[in-house]
Amino acid sequence: YAPWCPACQQMEATWESFAKESERLGITVGKVDVTQEPGLSGRFFVTTLPTIYHANDGVFRRYRGSRTLEDLQGYILERKWEAVEPVAGWKSPSSIMMHGMAGLFHFSGWIRQIHNYLTGTLGVHVWVSYAIFILATLLIGLLLGL
């Protein structure tokens, strides 16, 4: 989820109720703010918000059902997750490919922090910051090419 996401805000009360029922259902329920954990959004290939995954014994399945409390509980109690195709091995959050994707998302967050530091703290104009990143990209490319 993300705090600015209207669909996430709309589902928040339902998700909290589902989390309160987690012990009775024999599951653990959690939520991750993708603005605070960008690496996880890369690892789980989050393209829409909110995104719900069911994980059991290292097998991940993306929940695409209705977002009501009854349907979420039914998904677990009636074991509907067994009929859902697991996430493909190469796209699994535990795969090497998605580990690399998480690294890219962390790197992009680091670049954004540098940009915010240059523009916010040092008062550098936005286009100057872009120019610095362009030059850094070209220089790194030249050095790696040598």
Measured torsion, CA atoms of residues 42, 43, 47, 48, in degrees rounded to the nearest 10: -120
* Annotated catalytic residue within 1, 7, 8, 136: 8
What is the rounded CA–CA span in Å between residue 2 and residue 121?
Answer: 25
* Annotated catalytic residue within 1, 3, 5, 48: 5
Query: 8 an active-site residue?
Result: yes
Query: 80 an active-site residue?
Result: no
Tokens coding 117: 């530091």
Sign of CA dihedral 66, 70, 74, 76: positive
List active site positions: 5, 8
